[in-house]
Structure 1
Amino acid sequence: MKLTDKNIEELYIFTRQHYVEHYDVQTELVDHLANDIEAICDKNPNLSFEQARDISFKKFGVFGFMDVVEQKSKQVGKRYRKVLWDIFKEWFQLPKLATTLSLIFLFYTLLRLPSIGVYFYYTIIGIYLIYFFTRCRILIVKHKRKVKETGKNWLLEDIIFKLASSNFLILFSNMFNIFRLSELLQKMQYAFLVAVFLVLLLLVGYITLVVIPNKSEKLLEEQYPEYKLV
């Protein structure tokens, strides 16, 4: 039995009905189901498409497609973290290392000034929060618009934009500890550690909110060869 285009479209609908929201995961499951259904129908020609589909689906067990979705999420999440780490390391290698060290030295110098050190710390955190929130809003709107226009939500793209946004929630939930960190400035020997913390915070924010989202098209094409055809 050879599945028709209508059958394939029905399988896409079937995966969405079973809580598979990402197009790339849907495509992988549809390809597996289609091959399995054809094999089942070859052995049992009297079965209908729906009957063969249900037999194939039962092979995924009690939780259906959830295990596959979880495995794919871990796999793609690992890919995202590797990209993040590779870009982060660049800031501690020449020529970007010079910029990183310059920022640490500048922050350290300003934090050590008795009259403005604490105010500078609060100003940097405040500016960071405002920019973080604004940028997150822009990314969320951009992602939702793209999904609506294309009708396709790719797992890696979802991770890129959602993790960037979730970082804001993580930061906001730790604001009490971050503001308490300013107490260390009362002991000037900790000013260097605070300066390093601020620079690392800025780097992670810049990479997750600007660099990786701007590279999302390239990353998607590398992850999904079929992305260029969509």
Structure 2
Amino acid sequence: MKRELTYTDVSRIQSYVENMGVDFYDVQVEIVDHIASAIEEQLILFPERSFQEVFDSTLASFDNLSPLVHKKLQQVTRQYNRYFRKSIFDFFKWPRVVFAIVLLGVIYSMLKAATPVGMVVFKNHIFGWSMGLTIAYCGFVGWRNHVQYHKLCTTHILSWFPLFTQFPQILIVFTNYAEKYQKQHTLLLALIYTLILIFIGAFVESYEKIRKYGRDKYLKMLSI
């Protein structure tokens, strides 16, 4: 008869991993799965030994989880990064192409109709608006990650956040250029404005999607 781990056994492994100081729940789940597979392999290799003896000795052999944590963190991060890139590409598909064309038309019309005084007013306000939105979103993400139950390593892979926080500076530098060449290069300027806004939207949506993907996947795995 094949000896298998019960839910209680898996829960015990999970408690052990958690007590070893593994921070992220998704990494915990991957390590629990790794240890459970190792225990089941030992049960097959040593059928003469008791279940409890094999379980305890194999679990005790994982007394230093640091190399395994590093390996699983990289594995999970690569998984999220692949999903993040896929989400970015998916953002630039139908029907958002239509939305992008409409947005381009609106921005082009606004630039074409804008007076020099209007461009100055726009430049004076856009930094405050964009900085306010950036601070609000980054603050929300930070707060949510702080209070989140079962933290995932999506809180660890926000390497694009420094770029995101440069959004207001990018806009103000570009608006300085637009103020000078608004009439000569209206279509090009409208296209660049549209791409900046669409790209920021793609980043935000893709991050929210990988966060949902991670929570949907890992929060269910150990509850089965």
Normalising by structure 2, report the TM-score.
0.70
Q: Give 3-state SS (helix, strand or coil) of 1:45's partner.
A: coil
Determine the structure 1 residue equivalent to 2:140: 138
Instruction: Give the 3 Å change call, closer, same or farther, for CA 207–134 of structure 1 in structure 2.
Output: same
Q: CA RMSD in A?
A: 4.0
Contact kept, 8 Å, 2:87 with 2:209, in 1: the verdict is no
Query: How many residues of Structure 1 are paired with residues of Structure 2 in the alignment?
Result: 216
Determine the structure 2 residue equivalent to 1:119: 121
Following TM superposition, by how much is the alpha carbon of 1:65 offset from its aligned partner in structure 2, in angstroms? 2.6
Contact kept, 8 Å, 2:104 with 2:194, in 1: the verdict is no
| Distance across 2 between alignment mates of 1:214 and 1:77 | 11
Determine the structure 1 residue equivalent to 2:103: 100
Determine the structure 1 residue equivalent to 2:151: 153
Following TM superposition, by how much is the alpha carbon of 1:17 offset from its aligned partner in structure 2, in angstroms? 5.2
Q: Give 3-state SS (helix, strand or coil) of 1:26's partner.
A: helix
Percent of matched pairs sharing the same residue = 18
Q: Give 3-state SS (helix, strand or coil) of 2:77's partner.
A: helix
Q: How does 1:56-205 map to 2 (within 5 A)?
A: 63-90=67-94, 93-94=97-98, 96-109=99-112, 113-145=115-147, 147-148=148-149, 152-155=150-153, 158=155, 163=158, 169-173=162-166, 178-185=171-178, 186-188=180-182, 189-205=184-200
Q: Does 1:206 align with 2:212?
A: no
**Matching residue within 7, 32, 35 for 1:33:** 35
Normalising by structure 1, report the TM-score.
0.68
Larger Rg: 2
Contact kept, 8 Å, 1:57 with 1:64, in 2: the verdict is no
Structure of greater relative contact order (alpha carbons < 8 Å, 6+ residues apart) = 2
| Distance across 1 between alignment mates of 2:34 and 2:207 | 31
